[in-house]
């Protein structure tokens, strides 16, 4: 019965999407608001009280037997990347709901239980990731967020206002100083480690953090047929070399767990017979070792200076975000491990290469993460897939973990 219910809910949420390829449910979009409405309806059916903070984080609460006890929290996000998959974020929300649904059958726990749905975990729409959990952790970058706009020119503040939230009161979403007993997030791994090892569960020990750069290259536009090859100041040629430099610098640091990606590039004027005068690219450098990330960024900057000088172009580098990797709490990891042992489920301890809301919740309370495998490690892709058996195993472990923390 649980299995059918979980898969039905996952299917229903997947229906809230724009386009025909994969799942497109951008933060604060009509599609995400529909998904929120559906899930909050399920939360209310379980008897959970609901509140929504200024940035749109949804906090559903089921009271415990001790009114003075701090809540045990679980959750994730409902927004997606463009043409993404069915499981990223959504599974964590539905798994949390399913676990609370199971626990309520046995009566109330001592500690209250909270299910949190975070706003704008993905950076796809506004260029900033984990915005809701950052606000909850009291580290919202209000100055930078005030400038954030989507590809249609809609600002983050306008998008919040359009769906009834309060961009001028984001600071009130902070729960710093509030007593929270624990936070647990279940997520697909988004990598191949568990599947390759034939293991159903990963216990996350550390979460990699991204440093994100916007690199602007300015050259001199000119006629493609009349400008000599040896005198060109081609912004795209410079950008191409920078892309390769990102790859080479990151490869040299890969043993430290650091990776680098150029995920987007825009070229102007963008016509075949004009030498590009402007190229802009967005770079993601991340890892679990903060010193390695800092050194990688500096090494990349040094390489870029050499490239720009050789090509006669000008390069400006803007640091968009610079988060620190987070080590999760042993107390929660031990509770997850004990749940696996009790259920006779094989597991491994591991790091997360992707950022998650849990990394910010870790500054508020003891925090842990549960990974389940995803097919071929594919994520942020229409082919993203988690097997139903693995989903239910993850929910089994999550349920037992929450129950032990909330007793």
Give the CATH number, domain containing residue 264: 3.30.70.360
**Is 24 found in the same domain as 71?**
yes
Highest mean pLDDT among 125-129, 284-288, 339-343: 339-343
> CA torsion sign, 390 to 36 to 39 to 175?
positive
CATH number at residue 390: 3.40.630.10
Which residues form the domain of 71? 2-208+325-406
**pLDDT at residue 179 above 70?**
yes
**Is 235 found in the same domain as 373?**
no
Q: Strand pairing partners for 213?
A: 283, 319
Overall average pLDDT of the 44-70 stretch: 97
**Is 315 found in the same domain as 169?**
no
**Is 285 found in the same domain as 193?**
no
- What Rg, from alpha-carbon coordinates, does the chain have? 23
> CA torsion sign, 8 to 13 to 14 to 16?
positive
**Is 402 found in the same domain as 275?**
no
Which of 322, 354, 369 is at the close of a domain?
A: 322
**Is 284 found in the same domain as 148?**
no
Mean pLDDT score across all residues of the chain: 96
Buried b or exposed e, range 49-59, using 16+ CB within 10 angstroms:
eeebbbbbbbb
* CB neighbour list of residue 129: distance below 8 Å, 6 or more residues apart: 120, 121, 122, 123, 210, 321, 355
- Of the pLDDT bands very low, low, confident and very high (cuts 50, 70, 90), residue 334 is very high
Q: How far apart are CA 159 and CA 124, in angstroms?
A: 14
**pLDDT at residue 188 above 80?**
yes
Which of 322, 339, 363 is at the close of a domain?
A: 322
Q: How far apart are CA 71 and CA 173, in angstroms?
A: 17
**DSSP assignments along 52-80, one per residue:** E-TT--EEEEE--S-TTSPPEEEEEE---
- Of the pLDDT bands very low, low, confident and very high (cuts 50, 70, 90), residue 107 is confident
CB 162 within 8 A of CB 28: yes
Q: What are the backbone angles phi and psi of residue 186, rounded to the nearest 5°?
A: -100, 140
For residue 67, the model assigns a pLDDT of 86
Which of 298, 322, 346 is at the close of a domain?
A: 322
**Is 224 found in the same domain as 169?**
no
- Of the pLDDT bands very low, low, confident and very high (cuts 50, 70, 90), residue 324 is confident
For residue 323, the model assigns a pLDDT of 83
**Is 157 found in the same domain as 92?**
yes
Number of domains present in the structure of the chain: 2
**DSSP assignments along 255-318, one per residue:** GGT-EEEEEEEEEES--TTEE--EEEEEEEEEES-HHHHHHHHHHHHHHHHHHHHHHT-EEEEE
Over the stretch 231-279, which tens digit does the pLDDT of each residue have?
999 999 999 999 999 999 999 998 898 999 999 999 999 999 999 999 9
**pLDDT at residue 5 above 80?**
yes
Peptide bond into 147 cis (omega under 30): no
| Of residues 201, 183, 185, the one with CA closest to residue 193 | 201
For residue 50, the model assigns a pLDDT of 98
For residue 1, the model assigns a pLDDT of 65
pTM of the complete model = 0.85
Burial label for 196, CB within 10 Å (0-12, 13-18, 19+), is exposed
**pLDDT at residue 302 above 70?**
yes
| Of residues 404, 407, 405, 403, the one with CA closest to residue 100 | 403
**Is 380 found in the same domain as 240?**
no
**Is 174 found in the same domain as 227?**
no
Over the stretch 361-400, which tens digit does the pLDDT of each residue have?
999 999 999 999 999 999 999 999 999 999 999 999 999 9
- Of the pLDDT bands very low, low, confident and very high (cuts 50, 70, 90), residue 209 is confident
**Is 127 found in the same domain as 105?**
yes
Tell me the three state secondary structure of residue 238: helix
**Is 334 found in the same domain as 239?**
no
Q: How far apart are CA 324 and CA 142, in angstroms?
A: 18
């Amino acid at each position: 019965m649980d299995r059918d219910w979980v898969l039905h809910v996952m299917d229903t949420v997947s229906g809230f999407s724009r386009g025909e390829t994969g799942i497109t449910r951008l933060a604060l979009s009509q599609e995400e608001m529909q998904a929120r409405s559906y899930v909050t309806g399920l939360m209310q059916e379980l008897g959970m009280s609901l509140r929504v903070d200024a940035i749109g984080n949804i906090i559903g609460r089921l009271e415990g037997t001790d009114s003075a006890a701090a809540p045990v929290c679980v959750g994730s996000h409902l927004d997606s990347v463009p043409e993404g998959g069915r499981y990223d974020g959504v599974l964590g929300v539905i798994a949390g709901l399913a676990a609370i649904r199971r626990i309520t059958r046995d009566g109330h726990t001592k500690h209250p239980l909270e299910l949190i749905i975070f706003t704008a975990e993905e950076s796809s729409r506004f260029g900033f990731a984990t915005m809701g959990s950052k606000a909850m952790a009291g580290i919202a970058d209000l100055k930078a967020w005030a400038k954030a706009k989507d590809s249609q020119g809609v600002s983050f503040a306008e998008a919040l206002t359009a769906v009834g939230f309060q961009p001028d009161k984001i600071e009130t979403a902070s729960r710093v100083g509030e007593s929270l007993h624990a936070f647990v997030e279940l997520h697909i791994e988004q990598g191949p480690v568990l599947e390759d090892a034939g293991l159903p569960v990963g216990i996350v020990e550390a979460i990699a953090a991204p440093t994100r750069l916007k690199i602007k290259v300015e050259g001199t536009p000119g006629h493609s047929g009349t400008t000599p090859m040896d005198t060109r100041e081609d912004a795209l040629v410079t950008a191409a070399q920078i892309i390769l430099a990102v790859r080479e610098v990151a490869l040299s640091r890969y043993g430290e767990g650091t990776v680098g990606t150029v995920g987007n590039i825009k070229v102007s004027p963008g016509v075949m017979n004009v030498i590009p005068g402007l190229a802009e690219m967005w770079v993601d450098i991340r890892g679990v070792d903060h010193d390695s990330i800092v050194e990688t960024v500096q090494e990349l900057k040094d390489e870029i200076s050499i490239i720009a000088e050789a090509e006669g172009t000008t390069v400006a580098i803007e640091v968009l975000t610079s988060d620190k990797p987070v080590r999760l709490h042993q107390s929660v990891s031990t509770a997850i491990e004990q749940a696996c042992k009790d259920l006779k489920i094989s597991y491994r301890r591991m790091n997360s290469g992707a950022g998650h809301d849990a990394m910010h919740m870790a500054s508020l309370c003891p925090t842990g993460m549960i990974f389940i495998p995803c097919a071929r490690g594919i994520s942020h892709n229409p082919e993203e897939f988690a097997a139903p058996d693995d989903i239910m195993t993850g929910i089994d472990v999550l349920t037992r973990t929450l129950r032990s923390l909330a007793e």
